[in-house]
Chain A
């Protein structure tokens, strides 16, 4: 079965650079969630989209932005990167009316040096 695809798997950037993370949800899933998991931390909700509109927003820095496109894939754009942005970034998708817990991608590991 198709899963949530995230790219790239690993990314190394320097401070003050920009990074773009991509997420391709499971086909026919219309909701996408982004989470940030720092080293030794639990995942923290960043932002979500439903039908290409932002549906909820968590502790996402102003330097970050995200959107969901017409094909339902989503991109997380991160600018002016800081060392503290180094983390595992998860994307997850959910189908309409599904409450059994959604499917996570394998994550993008971002390292800022």
Chain B
């Protein structure tokens, strides 16, 4: 079974600064997908960024980028130019690339990010 670990329960950053959220995972699979989801106080789950394990290039989406280290099974999220609206719970998630568990997301424990003005 896959496990996802987020070791930072809470993080804080000043507006316009950069912050990095950590995530590690454990799997014996070679084909899988990794995601970061944002859950603001509204509790809506919003996809922030995704990474296919077979791609070596790190994914980027505007101010959001990842550092994907497949050998180390690490998948950190970097938020640049932090904005007040980035304040939320952030979940790292793993999805198997095949088999009966294909499509099922396994989430980490979450990191609460607070952006201060």
| A interface with B by C-beta (< 8 Å) | 31, 33, 35, 42-45, 48, 55-56, 58, 88, 90, 92, 94, 99-104, 106-107, 109
Contact = CB atoms under 8 A, between A and B. Distances in A.
Interface of B: 33, 35, 37, 42-47, 50, 52, 91, 93, 95, 97, 100-101, 103-110
Please classify the interface of chain A as helix (H, G, I), strand (E, B), loop, or mixed, using the class held by over half of its residues.
strand
Most A CB within 10 A of own CB, among B47, B91, B103:
B103
Given A43-B91, A99-B33, A101-B33, A48 B47 contact: no
B91 A107 contact: no
A99 B95 contact: yes
A106 B108 CA distance: 20
A30 to B, nearest CB: 11
Given A42-B107, A45-B106, 18 more contacts: A31-B103, A33-B103, A35-B105, A42-B91, A43-B45, A44-B107, A55-B100, A55-B103, A99-B52, A100-B33, A100-B50, A101-B50, A103-B47, A106-B42, A106-B43, A107-B43, A107-B44, A109-B43
